[in-house]
Amino acid sequence: SRTKLTYETRANFAKNPLSKRLFTLMATKKTNLCLAADLNKADDILELANKCGPYICMLKTHVDIIEDFSEGFITNLKTVAKRHNFLILEDRKFADIGNTVSQQYGKGMYKIASWANLVTAHTLSGRSIVQGLKAGLDDNAKKQRGVFLLAEMSAKGNLIDEKYKESSNKIATEGGDADFVSGVVCQSSTCFGFPGLIQLTPGVKIDEGVDNLGQQYETPEHVVKERGADIGIVGRGILQAANVEKAAATYRDRLWTAYLERVAK
């Protein structure tokens, strides 16, 4: 199964240039940690990114929770991403018809398509969500962008069932637009089988449990070895630590060791 293959091997299967790039980045930088930078001030995100940058393969943003968003913030974030060699994932969770998604991606205040290497999208509206994202990009830009499709959620009581999960897998792997899909956001290794896609899994915390708004957590070892995660997304496990840099290093070590043990013969 795909979970026994190394990231180097999986890079060869990738149809989307960004998943190829991310697999390679993970293998060379030796990290499968994605930091969820869920902070409300631009400077706090930049400081966090600078401290944790050496330990992460990707920084995940929710740009609509930033109170003082500016183009300058994006310029600085891109500089930090280049300095520490990580990709930027805007967790926008697009969910509308293609024509609207195309505008939400490229236009408005945030112009997400101009700076986010990767974005997330729900599959609720079907294949046209991927087509909508591609629609606003020219041929060159299409090769430098990708989307992670949500096939499962970590929230307790979420409405996603087996059929929805299977259909999401089909959108991610079949048809002419699958080359724009970098991976799948999900909670289990049965979400998809194609080794060229990356499994992104949130709900990761050293202290398992729940928060008071339905979030459910598993340990780094559990998500990588039992749930098939290729990349673990960690937010509050790092954000709320007394020393964020140390916490990022710990999560990196534990996620990476779990991956090495998973692929070991």
Kindly list the residues in this chain that would bind ligand S5P in the complex (CB under 6 A). 36, 38, 62, 91, 120, 153-155, 185, 202-203, 215, 233-237
| Amino acid found at 244 | V
Does the active-site annotation cover 93? yes
Question: Measured from the CB of residue 204, what is the shortest distance to ligand S5P in angstroms?
Answer: 6
**Residue 236 marked as a ligand binder:** yes
Nearer to ligand S5P, 138 or 207 (CB): 207
Nearer to ligand S5P, 53 or 237 (CB): 237
Q: What residues have CB less than 8 Å from 36, skipping those under 6 apart?
A: 60, 91, 202, 233, 234, 235, 239
Q: Which of 20, 29, 51, 91 is catalytic?
A: 91
**Residue 136 marked as a ligand binder:** no
Nearer to ligand S5P, 11 or 234 (CB): 234
Does the active-site annotation cover 156? no
**Measured torsion, CA atoms of residues 12, 92, 219, 1, in degrees rounded to the nearest 10:** -30
Question: Measured from the CB of residue 215, what is the shortest distance to ligand S5P in angstroms?
Answer: 5
Residue where the block lists tokens 């979970």: 3
E strand segments, 81-220 = 87-94, 118-122, 146-150, 181-185, 198-201, 209-210, 216-217
Q: Which of 15, 30, 44, 96 is catalytic?
A: 96
Active site residues: 91, 93, 96
Residues annotated as binding site?
38, 60, 154, 215, 235-236
